[in-house]
Amino acid sequence: MTRLTAGDPGSGSGAWPRPGQGAGTDGGGRWGPTRRSCPVAEPGCGPSRGPRMLNVPSQAFPAPGSQQRVASQGRSKVPLKQGRSLMDWIRLTKSGKDLTGLKGQLIEVTEEELKKHNKKDDCWICIRGFVYNVSPYMEYHPGGEDELMRAAGTDGTDLFNEVHRWVNYESMLKECLVGRMAVKPAVPKDCQEGKRVLNGMLPKSQVTDILPREGPSSPSYDWFQTESAVTIVIYTKQKNINLDSVIVDLQDDSLRAEAVIKDHSYLIHIGLSHEVQENFSVRVIENVGKIEIVLQKKENVSWKYLGDPLEKHNSFIPKKDTGLHYRQCQLIAKEDVTHDTRLFCLKLPPSTHLQVPVGQHVYLKLSVTGAEIVKPYTPVSDSLLSDFKEPALSPNKYIYFLIKIYPAGLFTPELDRLQIGDLISVSGPEGNFKVSKLQEVEDLFLLAAGTGFTPMVTVLNYALAHVSSLRKVKLMFFNKTEDDIIWRCQLEKLASKDKRFHVEFVLSAPSPEWNGKQGHVSRALLSEFLQRSLENSRVFLCICGPTPFTEEGIRLLHDLNFSDDEIHGFTA
Ligand code: FAD
Ligand code: NAP
């Protein structure tokens, strides 16, 4: 396994792959990182070494930062009883116990039948057409029993989508599966009939039943061909479309293209009629909102039709209803950043076009003791000191993550065990941060705690490179100790390189030698820190960290008279 530490020989600079570059190889041609070292040897720049206390699990369970607690704002979080963690649930599902009471038999469930199972000890819920007996899961549900009971005996799909559509319930609840709903959910007519699409323009009557009643107007598509290429054109009818609005995957000659338009997705999903090469290109013509996907034919023959429609083809639906689509990415490098945080570099398949918008996150999926576990992570750039002039929309071949490994965590120890070359599933992007929020901002304040620093990385890079009105960016970075500060050296270097940027570290458990700021997020710390560069300057604030930190920070910002429009809190 490639894990480089401060003393590794061969330390060089800038050998990690950047967008548009190849990955570094070692002498033997294996993929792996060449360590990027801080150009100046300063204390705290490299990974910490020597014995020290690793992040001790908190008394409360699930721990404050645990995904077993993390929830969208306003949702209640309840302490789970001893022995009711996610790992305990996985163990129960593997025990062979009959969790449905149906001895493994699957049944068709009518609406009348579903309604009858509406009590805690007999609770059935329908999610996306499948019915689960969730009674055995009640005590393990991180959101609490009452939250689950809200959907008892009903179709809970909307509620589920609203709260945590990314949770891999199919895997988590597979032993609770009772069966299918007797009435099938509506599917697009072109899929039902297995109809061939002769050109992309389906008659309007065939798509209206899957179009949203409100929201942006529906895109359409068409296709044309030359001797060697097939071009699919999506007419989004929107002007603010760019390359990170399009996600394209080509897998075994089936093409899935998703155009994200506000909070809706337009999907093209086709089993292509002929073979194509795995490399394709995506172009966006912004002023007319047109997306072109250019596929290279394997054989120079004329295609009579584009292909057969697959699930949700030519549909325009709220993004939350599309389901997460995963592709397998390869771990190509891993580097220690602090004693418990690593920089992971994943390589996207060549047959994928995916660029994660600034401040958004994706989901990583791994199998942990046989169950699929999904957790959100926020991609970062490979370094804070990348050349700002690099085009923001250059093709992204690599995704970088700064991830803290929790020794007692469910997901991160498994992630840490991955070897260079191993594959991991990565979803499309999610999140409600929009770079348009930074338009015309003069003072940008970033408040981060621990790995809550990750969304700040791309926000900071974007603001310094693209927001011409920007006068000042200030980061207040809360950590326990000096050893926990991610990219301290880079942050300090950036501050000396770009006079608009200032960084302030606050430690909650500093060593006696620390002479910087101490404590937790507080009114006193914030009011001193949040000084505008001009009396009425246009200001924007971002905050991210453990949920209670973010909630407390937002409360304090309101107290200090910042409005909701001026604050973005990163939450699940
Ligand atoms: P968990 O199992 O969730 O455990 C977390 C903590 O709880 C650990 O301290 C663990 O020791 C403790 N714990 C677990 N079980 C017990 C128990 N039985 N008793 C007491 N304590 C226990 N993280 C990053 O590092 N980088 C990112 O870029 C990032 N982006 C994110 C983006 C979003 C939108 C969100 C919501 C979260 C993000 N996170 C990120 C956090 C990440 O999703 C995970 O929550 C985190 O990696 C922990 O996962 P885990 O399964 O390893 O730990
Ligand atoms: P950590 O090291 O445990 O904590 C970082 C700092 O925050 C410490 O100084 C800590 O003080 C302080 N802190 C913790 N809880 C606090 C609270 N309730 N009020 C005030 N200060 C508090 O952090 P971490 O383990 O890296 O966790 C980072 C968190 O960020 C995770 O929960 C993760 O899910 C979240 N995150 C969210 C996103 C997103 O986009 N939503 C992205 C990345 C990360 P103490 O010494 O007192 O603990």
CA of 550 to the centre of ligand 2 (A): 8
pLDDT at position 77, please?
58
pLDDT band at 184 (very low <50, low <70, confident <90, very high): low
Q: In angstroms, what CA-CA distances link 2 with 339, 344, 413, 419?
A: 16, 11, 16, 8
Residue entry with tokens 């493994």: 104
pLDDT band at 465 (very low <50, low <70, confident <90, very high): very high
CA of 529 to the centre of ligand 2 (A): 19
Contacts of residue 86, defined as CB under 8 A and 6 or more positions apart, other chains included, come to: 68, 140, 142, 373, 410
Residue entry with tokens 């023959």: 301
pLDDT at position 26, please?
32
pLDDT band at 67 (very low <50, low <70, confident <90, very high): very low
pLDDT of residue 561 exceeding 80:
yes
Cβ atoms 371, 411 nearer than 8 A: no
pLDDT band at 294 (very low <50, low <70, confident <90, very high): very high
Residue nearest to atom 30 of ligand 2 (CA): 545
Residue 454 alpha carbon, nearest atom of ligand 2: 43
Cβ atoms 156, 120 nearer than 8 A: no
Mean pLDDT computed over 368-397: 75
Q: Which residue has the higher pLDDT, 169 or 498?
A: 498
Contact residues of ligand 2, CB 6 A cut-off? 64-65, 70, 361, 378, 404, 449-452, 454-455, 478-480, 484, 508-509, 520-521, 544-546, 548-549, 552, 570-572
Contact residues of ligand 1, CB 6 A cut-off? 55, 57, 61-63, 65-68, 70, 85, 361, 375-378, 401-404, 406, 408-412, 451, 454, 572
> Which of 366, 511, 384, 501 is CA-nearest to residue 445?
501
- What's the mean per-residue pLDDT of the chain? 81
pLDDT of residue 23 exceeding 70:
no
Q: Which residue has the higher pLDDT, 174 or 444?
A: 444
Cβ atoms 141, 147 nearer than 8 A: yes
Tell me the residue type at 564: D
pLDDT of residue 188 exceeding 70:
no
pLDDT band at 202 (very low <50, low <70, confident <90, very high): very low
CA of 63 to the centre of ligand 1 (A): 8
pLDDT band at 320 (very low <50, low <70, confident <90, very high): confident
Pocket residue to mutate for ligand 1, from 68, 414, 451, 570, most atoms within 8 A of Cβ: 451
pLDDT band at 288 (very low <50, low <70, confident <90, very high): confident
Residue-wise pLDDT for 479-511, tens only, equals: 999 999 999 999 999 999 999 999 999 999 999
Cβ atoms 77, 128 nearer than 8 A: no
